Amino acid sequence: MRTKATSSLTSRSRPSHSHQYRSREIYHHHDDDAVEEIEGLIRVHRDGQVERPQIVSCVPASSPRPDVNNVISTDISIDNFTGTWARFYVPNNTTIISHHHQKLPLLVYFHGGGFCVGSASWVCYHEFLSKLSSKLNCLIMSLNYRLAPENPLPAAYEDGFKSLIWLKQQILYQCETSSQWWIQKCNFSRIFLAGDSAGANIAYNVALNLSAHEKASSSAIIRPLEVKGMVLIQPFFGGEKRTSSENKLGEAPTSSKLSLADSDTYWRLALPRGSNRDHQWCNPILGQGSVILEELRLCPVLVCVSELDILKDRNMEFCGALVRAGKKVEHLVCKGVGHAFQILSKSPISQNQTHELMARIKSFIVGL
């Protein structure tokens, strides 16, 4: 029988849930009015105001011209009601093709940011995914999902799942408009779910949702799409009981971009009201309500771990649990780098490890 960790809820105060969270762009509150804050990224006030200073620049898509990586990018609306949209990256080194085996795989990517910050238009993600699309010779759909605390989990999971349903509609109804010329280049039977940090958590939970639907209906809800694999880069997991890497690296040395305090704040803002870090969405192995991995039909998984990341131990424990459950798992440990090195660091060692990371992702995708 599975053992489950138990712990009391954090005592740090949260904003009242009697009002609705509201986003703002400019600081105007007194500092002591903030009840949750990650300096420079997000500040939440008692009255529900949520402020996100633009610490990272946003950039437009390159369409109709290819960028420095010879990749064309374009933004497409996914759901007008929720406001979700996606940035598509399409290598410009192929023509419109008709033969199925010549078409390119599609990577459905979810950005990081603790479920609370980040954007598909952030320059760091734009540059990383444009280069990844070129190196892998694949299409990438980078989803701009709803953020917490205005939209706590499972909103991001729902957006991820709906993005696959949207893709299904594109191929079934051949929605070929001037903004969707990429359809003719896409091999919809070779879909990969991917993301970094919170985005990797979203990719994993979207895969769980697909597995649950398939088990309930005995058929694939997204058919004729086929998810061939997952690429999880530094997946954002947690738990009430601290791991060795959390205790050792919790102060976030300069080589890492995630401290233990920031991680805890993200989880307080993202999880449903009344939950702690042993919720299944945070602690997928031992958390309350966690699924039984042996009963799931999961596609092959590549987990990319950073040696100097507070999440290192949780990522390795996650890999071990999948292996024990009989799942096909590969993992890569990136040496000498911390959390989000591939998008937030320009150091020589980060550049080298990013090159190795992309090469391993390419090998994984080609092999499936």
**Phi and psi angles of residue 203, each rounded to the nearest 5 degrees, phi first:** -60, -45
Residues in a beta bridge with 233? 196, 304
Token digits of residue 192:
């990969």
Measured from the Cβ of residue 21, the count of other Cβ atoms closer than 10 Å reads 19
Q: From the candidates 197, 245, 259, 345, give the one annotated as an active-site residue.
A: 197
Question: Would you call 142 helix, strand, or coil by DSSP?
Answer: strand
Cα–Cα distance measured from residue 17 to residue 23, given in angstroms and rounded to the nearest whole number:
15
Longest dimension (CA), the chain: 62
| HSE-up of residue 356 (Cα within 13 Å, Cβ side) | 17
Which is it for strands 301-306 and 227-233: parallel, antiparallel or unpaired?
parallel
Q: Please, what is the end-to-end C-alpha distance for the chain in angstroms?
A: 34
Cα–Cα distance measured from residue 8 to residue 42, given in angstroms and rounded to the nearest whole number:
26
Cis amide leading into 64 (omega within 30): yes
Would you call 197 a catalytic residue per the annotation? yes
E strand intervals along the chain = 22-24, 34-38, 42-45, 49-51, 71-79, 84-91, 104-110, 139-144, 186-196, 227-233, 301-306, 329-334
Residues recognised as catalytic: 197
